Structure 1
Amino acid sequence: MSFFSVHPFLSFNLAVVLLIAGKILTLNLDLLRRYSIPEPVAGGFLCIAVTGTLWAVFDLRGV
């Protein structure tokens, strides 16, 4: 079984980037503001969309 680890500094920086992306999405999309979607949730959905797209395009399988 293969495992990988993510350095805490990289993990923290990714969280900050997703929070900022969520803030930008919330400011620019009326739908997110109308339903009061928090910035971390919007950033998380963005992360899920990118990860899912990469998984589908490159046909990645988990171990």
Structure 2
Amino acid sequence: MGRPPLKVKPTVVRLAPEDLERIDALEGPNKRAKFIREAVKEKLNREGGQGDAVSRKQSNNSSSD
């Protein structure tokens, strides 16, 4: 049995080498993806609440028809 699926979509993110070094120093090189996922979720929650961007995008798409 393997790990359960994370239900995530692969995405390329370009980061400065010094930022990667800071992440590795905090979490270790094998936990970069988890650190970045958590940081993105925290930023999204601070900036726009949960799901607001998805709701706005869907309503904008439906109003242009």
TM-score normalised according to structure 2 size: 0.39
Query: 1 or 2, which has the higher helix percentage?
Result: 1
Give the greater-gyration-radius structure (CA): 2
* Larger relative contact order, structure 1 or 2 (CA cutoff 8 Å, min sep 6): 1
TM-score normalised according to structure 1 size: 0.40
